[in-house]
């Protein structure tokens, strides 16, 4: 392939990826606002400024586009928290000190908070996930392998480590849900926050306050799991 043809092919690929990304961004917003059944592929194409056949070309059908939205959220979440999560898992593997493991997990939750509240599509993603009631075949998106499952498993492993195995598996997993659910409460209950506190948006200052509160509470909860020495 000559240099000119290679540049043309690369330019076409870049435009194709840009179009695909624009469609997903638009679909996330519209699915979040109206739900799966409340929006058509024509609506999405018109809002994204692309020909309607483009959706079929990139995603086959509306179900494929919906699954691509879920996969996009999972990928973005893992990009945000993956490095910190890798660090915590390595600390567990090497049996690092309790303090380092707890600090590492809190750092991961900091990254998750930034993803949930400070990323460009945070509001659209929150609405999309809250409305996610349409079953998706596991062949399209396997939620059990998503970042949420990995974060949950990591937290349960930390509790097992800190408690020296004295906490039963089901209780560990319930505790992990409670710890990680601190951020999800703020993420999905924005109308409730408005009613209770008069908060219309999560500003950078409020986000910092939330992160500090979650870090403090997570540290206390995880330290409380440590088995007392005889």
Burial class (CB in 10 A: 0-12, 13-18, 19+), 206: middle
Going by pLDDT thresholds of 50, 70 and 90, the confidence category of residue 9 is: very low
| Domain spans in the chain, listed from the N-terminal domain onward | 1-59, 73-223
At 115-139, the pLDDT tens digits run 999 988 888 888 888 776 544 444 4
At 181-213, the pLDDT tens digits run 999 888 877 777 777 888 778 889 999 999 999
Torsion angle (degrees, nearest 10) of CA 153, 75, 110, 99: 40
Average pLDDT over residues 66-73: 93
pTM tops 0.95: no
Given this model, what pLDDT does residue 187 score?
Answer: 81
Q: Does domain 1-59 fall into CATH 3.40.50.720?
A: no
Which helix (H) or strand (E) element contains residue 229? none
Architecture of domain 73-223: Orthogonal Bundle (1.10)
């Amino acid at each position: 392939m000559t240099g000119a043809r290679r540049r043309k092919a690369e330019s076409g690929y870049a435009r194709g990826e840009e179009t695909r990304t624009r469609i997903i961004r638009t679909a996330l917003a519209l699915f979040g606002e109206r739900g799966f059944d409340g929006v058509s592929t024509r609506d999405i194409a018109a809002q994204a400024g692309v020909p309607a056949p483009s959706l079929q070309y990139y995603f086959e059908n509306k179900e494929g586009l919906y699954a691509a939205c879920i996969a996009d959220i999972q990928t973005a979440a893992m990009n945000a928290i993956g490095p910190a999560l890798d660090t915590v898992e390595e600390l567990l593997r090497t049996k690092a000190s309790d303090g380092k493991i707890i600090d590492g997990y809190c750092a991961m939750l900091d990254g998750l908070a930034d993803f949930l509240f400070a990323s460009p599509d945070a509001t659209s993603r929150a609405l999309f996930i809250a409305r996610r009631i349409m079953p998706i075949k596991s062949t399209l998106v396997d939620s059990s392998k998503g970042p949420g499952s990995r974060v949950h498993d990591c937290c349960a492993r930390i509790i097992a480590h800190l408690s020296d195995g004295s906490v039963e598996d089901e209780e560990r997993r319930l505790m992990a849900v409670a710890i990680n659910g601190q951020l999800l409460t703020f993420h999905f209950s924005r109308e409730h926050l408005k009613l209770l506190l008069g908060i219309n948006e999560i500003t950078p200052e409020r986000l910092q306050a939330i992160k500090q509160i979650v870090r403090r509470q997570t540290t206390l909860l995880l330290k409380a799991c440590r088995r007392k020495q005889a």
